[in-house]
Amino acid sequence: MSEQLRLMAVHAHPDDESSKGAATMARYVREGVRVMVATCTGGERGSVLNPAMDRPEVWEHLSEIRRKEMEAAREILGVEQAWLGFVDSGLPEGDPLPPLPEDCFALQPLEVATAPLVRLIREFRPHVVTTYDENGGYPHPDHIMCHQVSVEAFEAAGDPERYQEFGEPWQPLKLYYQMGFSRKRIEALHAETVAAGLESPYEEWLQKWSENHEEDKAALRVTTQVPCADYFGIRDDALRAHATQVDPTGRWFQTPLDVQRKAWPTEDYELARSLVDTGIPEDDLFAGITESVHV
């Protein structure tokens, strides 16, 4: 007998799982890995970003609708999913920025915010955990808190002295940060789109980077590139299931899948913590684990 590999992806809101690492999860599910998505908040304070869904009745029932969207995306990806039970912080805008709502996820004490994730890790027993980097991938307060909670839970779940009420400790073996928005990747997608004779949706993005002289920090941090181009269609179907959050005619879907597969056939990660020996670069989140888990 061999133990089934298990992967947990920790995300801030419903829809994040479909825009960050979704093809990776779809691939592993279809290779027999159990995959669990932990969703920190319900997305209650999110926006309606699809003009076709921008109606009063949608805003009135946004929390319920986003949960149903998550159910649909979960089925498409083939993953398991759990809500950690916190309330969306919203994205503060303005100068000065307004204070965050008192009940929100981002203002929870770290020990409180970490507790349900520790419990879920001990129940699901993942070998690998993925989350965002210290900037949250982008500086949304919930994404930053998601990073902090994930790092804390990775360490605490295996400590028998902490959170004793949640049962036997379980120590995941590897922790990864998703690195989806590197300039190198966007440049490759842009070049391949132009080469195909198509209008590129990335030109404005690259122009802003050039004007700001931003260093491609994400590309420099990538340690692990998971080939998953065959699952880009599943990724997009899952993202479209979040109909309040994405415009199906928008930038996310303008570049044909065959162009994307040719330009950049992987999803990229930084190995942040490993308790097993592995060589860098990697092409598998379970590198160094498979040999020790399977007998």
Q: For the chain, give every domain's residue range.
A: 6-182+217-293
Given this model, what pLDDT does residue 86 score? 98
Is 143 annotated in some ligand binding site?
yes
Q: 24 pLDDT band (50/70/90 cuts)?
A: very high
Full-model pTM: 0.95
Nearest to 209 by CA among 183, 189, 190, 178: 183
- Per-residue pLDDT tens over the stretch 40-95: 999 999 999 999 999 999 999 999 999 999 999 999 999 999 999 999 999 998 88
Above 90 in pLDDT, residue 251? Answer: no
Above 50 in pLDDT, residue 1? Answer: no
The CATH number that domain 6-182+217-293 falls under is: 3.40.50.10320
* C-beta of residue 8 within 8 angstroms of C-beta of residue 130: yes
Mean pLDDT over the full length of the chain? 94
Angstrom CA distances, 254 to 18, 190, 209, 257, 266, stand at 17, 11, 20, 9, 18
Can you say how many angstroms the Cα of residue 84 is from the centroid of all Cα atoms in its chain? 15
Is 294 annotated in some ligand binding site?
no
3-class DSSP state of 245: coil
Is 16 annotated in some ligand binding site?
yes
CA distance 158 to 125: 10
